[in-house]
Amino acid sequence: QVHLVESGGGLVQAGDSLRLSCVTSPSGRTFSDYSMGWFRQAPGKEREFVAEINGNGDRTAVADSVKGRFFISRRNAKRTIYLQMNNLKPDATAVYYCGVFRAPVFFQGRGNEDDYDSWGQGTQVTVSS
């Protein structure tokens, strides 16, 4: 498995922006071969898909609930992915997790948690109204 560390969360007001980062430690995998993504879990709710990106960074998929406000990107030279979150709403309050695909498969943008095998510890995002 792969070690991932998220950062960038915090307490903001509705309408603010945040950028989350997720750094991946070197492993036996070639970072640019693997799709990665962001999920979130709000209190009392199941973990849900937010966005994912293919290895090259030229294909992405974003949940309908955040489309047009959240953007995923990656910088392979730094083994890092990002989640830019704009115009945040209180319902974005959650712990945000980054994950990496279990295999270098063809990117389909399904947002399926079963495609992932490693997760970070999460970073808390709290949006006040």
Helix (H, G, I), strand (E, B) or coil at 31: helix
Is residue 1 predicted with pLDDT exceeding 90?
no
Each residue's pLDDT tens digit, 77-121: 999 999 999 999 999 999 999 999 999 988 999 999 999 999 999
Token pair listed for 67: 């489309």
Structure confidence by residue, pLDDT tens digits, 33-86 = 999 999 999 999 999 999 999 999 999 999 999 999 999 999 999 999 999 999
The tally of CA atoms less than 13 A away on the side-chain side of residue 36 is 35
